[in-house]
Structure 1
Amino acid sequence: MSASILGMSAPRARVSRSALERNIARAAHAEPDAPIDLRRDACGHGGRIVAEVARAVGVTAAVVDEPSLAAEYGLGSSRSVPLPLASVFGLEGRGRPVLTVTTPVLQTKPLQAGDGVSYGYLHRAESDTRAALIAGGYAQGVPRAVGGAASVWILGADRPIIGRVAMDVCVIDVGDLEVQPGDEAVLFGAPAPHLLGQWARATGWSEIELVAMPGLSAEREVAE
């Protein structure tokens, strides 16, 4: 894969302000004195935006990596048990997903029955199909264990990740979908919240671990 293709784009982490506001308000209503947890840049969701929304719904304190950060975020520093991360970020079926990680299709190519994919050719096509190379690999927080065990969402359908996840890219089987370079694949989040459960089962990791890794690595944007 050429450097020019890899340089085209990379995964992006989109934070939904409206989902975050709704989730924090609901969690704070259940536990009104609990602080917001902003450690590790709010688990990859962005400490500033999470602090801003938390203040707006009446949260007054935060658990932070460094005490000085609390004042920087406009909140008091606290060591109390924080609001549950799953509730705040819409994980494990609790509320709306806050973080959606998307990535562009870089290339597509036909696969003939028997063709091997990625390192070691651990995956071989069972029949003629089409594959798409998408940006994002283990260097961007995509766990290697999802290769051959989980999916992404593209053009309204779940499509399996095939072969080994590489450092900066991975491959999906797109079948007869009319996928083109530049199309957007959703790794997890809206509109495919079920994918994170697939990734958790494939890796044995928690959903918050899975969202934190690409959230900390990808370019982040805020949407309503």
Structure 2
Amino acid sequence: MTAMAEAVVDLDAIAHNAGVLAAASGPAGMMAVVKADGFGHGAAEVARTALRHGATWLGVASVPEALALRAQGFTEPLLLWLYPPTETFDEVLRAGIDVSVGGVEALEALADAADRTGTVATVHLKIDTGMSRGGAPVEEWMQLFTWARKFESAGLLRVRGLWSHLAGAEDPQSAHLRTQLHEFEVGRQTALTAGIDPPILHLANSAAGLQVPEARHDLLRAGIGLYGIEPVPGRSFGLRPAMTVRAQVLLTKRVPAGTGVSYGPDFFTDRETTLALVPLGFADGVPRQAAGRAEFLVHGVRCPVAGRVSMDQVVLDVGDLPVRAGEYAVMFGPGDGGEPTAAEWAAWAGTNPNDILTGIGARVSRRYEGAP
């Protein structure tokens, strides 16, 4: 069966990016963040490649993501950080998965699971240093550390890490970043006061790992940079985008000026032209809000999306290009051949490249090229 639409994932690019980020982390380790099915690229394929090219850890958001990696044979250190209040953690502990903890309730649940399973829980204590998202707020730090120390003394858990998340590291001198760096150090000192001295401190994301040395500590968590998106606007660290999304043209039609296209219609051709139907729509990750600005590459030429994006398809205005059914239209790729990039689509849609990459749906088949 031939796929109408596909996402071609360049594992050589993943390997290259892993090497760049691992080199930037210096003596610290590097975590390959493969949540959301590896940002849409395939968690197992990305994990396997990254681990062979510099990564020492894997990171995911949820329990199912973590257990899936273990089921696929990944035995490397693995951290998860999101779970419901009702999570029992029995399977997680049996699978040897590290758990992020930002509150006493979760510590208690992990201690109970450790007691039931006869397995010591391995945790990373998360503190909020200014993002106001996950992690213990400053007024709860000492309580979190004190209870962690009690459970550690009882042999129920081991504190392996202390971490936080940066709100932004694009500007190395920003006041908010500097405040977070300071607060993380305060958190570390508070933990030491409570008798907690984790062997691993981690704070840096891709942007911080590449340009904020004091944020690297013992582990760099590489997310978007691993997939080749430059994390700092206006700077290039030599990362290579790994995904190309393309689809076959299903049909073409020659139409006169004034022809309405797609729903509404609120788009009308301004001349005689050729329209090309492409089977990619908002159910596949083509953002509706990009209509009127977005382009695909056809025959080496950028062609605009004509009219609204439908659920399953878009129409391209290909002008006088000799386009035929069965030829490919490229939504985005590395940009080497003139095609749009995920970053351009993000700008057209008013979002970020993470949203574009993770939005490419399951109907778009994945095909892998290159490493490991």
Same-fold status (TM-score > 0.5): yes
Identity over aligned residues, as a percent?
Answer: 31
- 1:59 aligns to what? 55
Per-residue CA deviation, residues 84-115 of structure 1 (Å, 9 max, x unaligned), is 32321111455111011111100100121100
Which one-letter code corresponds to 1:213 in the other structure?
G
Distance 1:145 1:8, change over 3 A: farther
- Give the equivalent residue in structure 1 for 2:191: none
Alpha-carbon distance, 1:193 to partner:
5.7
CA distance in 2: counterparts of 1:105 and 1:49, whole angstroms: 28
**1:55: Cα distance to partner?**
1.4
State which drifts further: 67-76 or 33-42: 67-76
| 1:209-224 map, 5 Å | 209-214=355-360, 216-224=362-370
- Superposed CA deviations along residues 32-68 of structure 1, whole A, max 9, x for unmatched, are 4131101111111101111111111132211122243
Q: Bigger relative contact order, structure 1 or 2, given CA contacts below 8 A and separation 6+?
A: 1
Q: Distance between the aligned counterparts of 1:152 and 1:202, measured in 2?
A: 12
In structure 2, the partner of 1:50 is 46
1:205 to 1:123, Cα distance in 2 relative to 1, 3 A: same
- Give aligned pairs, total: 218
Q: CA deviation at 1:9?
A: 4.3
> How do 1:139-150 and structure 2 match up within 5 A?
139-150=283-294
Is 1:38 matched with 2:34? yes
Q: State yes or no: 1:133 paired with 2:127.
A: no
Indicate conservation of the 8 Å contact 2:296/2:340, yes or no: no
Cα deviation, 1:163-204, whole Å, max 9, x if unaligned, reads 001110000000111110000111001334643333112211
Structure 2 counterpart of 1:22: 16
Greater strand share, structure number: 1
| In structure 1, distance between residues paired with 2:15 and 2:361 | 18
Match of 1:171 in 2: 315
CA distance in 1, matches of 2:265, 2:315: 12
Relative to structure 1, the CA distance from residue 8 to residue 50 in structure 2 (aligned partners, 3 Å threshold; closer, same or farther) is closer
Deviation for aligned residue 1:214: 0.8
Instruction: Flag the structure with larger Rg.
Output: 2
Cα distance, 1:131–1:163 mapped onto 2, change above 3 Å: same
> If the length of structure 1 is used for normalisation, what is the TM-score?
0.89
Q: For residue 266 of structure 2, what is the amino acid of its counterpart? A: L
Name the SS for the 1:117 alignment partner.
coil
DSSP-derived class of the 2:264 partner: helix
CA contact (8 A) 2:247 2:330 kept: yes
For 1:205, what is the secondary structure of its paired residue?
coil
Question: Aligned residue for 1:203?
Answer: 349
User: Contact 1:140–1:217 (CA<8 Å) still a contact in 2?
Assistant: yes
SS in 2 for 1:122: coil
| Structure 1 unaligned spans of 5+ | 1-6
Q: State the secondary structure of the residue aligned to 2:9.
A: strand
Does 2:13 align with 1:12?
Answer: no
Q: CA deviation at 1:217?
A: 4.4
Counterparts of 2:221 and 2:19, CA distance in 1: 11
Report how far residue 83 of structure 1 moved.
Answer: 3.3
Instruction: Report the CA distance shift for 1:87/1:151 in structure 2 as closer, same or farther (over 3 A).
Output: same
Output aligned runs, 1:55-204, within 5 Å. 55-64=51-60, 65-66=62-63, 67-71=66-70, 72-78=73-79, 80-81=202-203, 83-92=221-230, 95-190=239-334, 191-192=337-338, 194-204=340-350
Amino acid in structure 2 at the alignment position of 1:195: T
Amino acid at match of 1:149: R
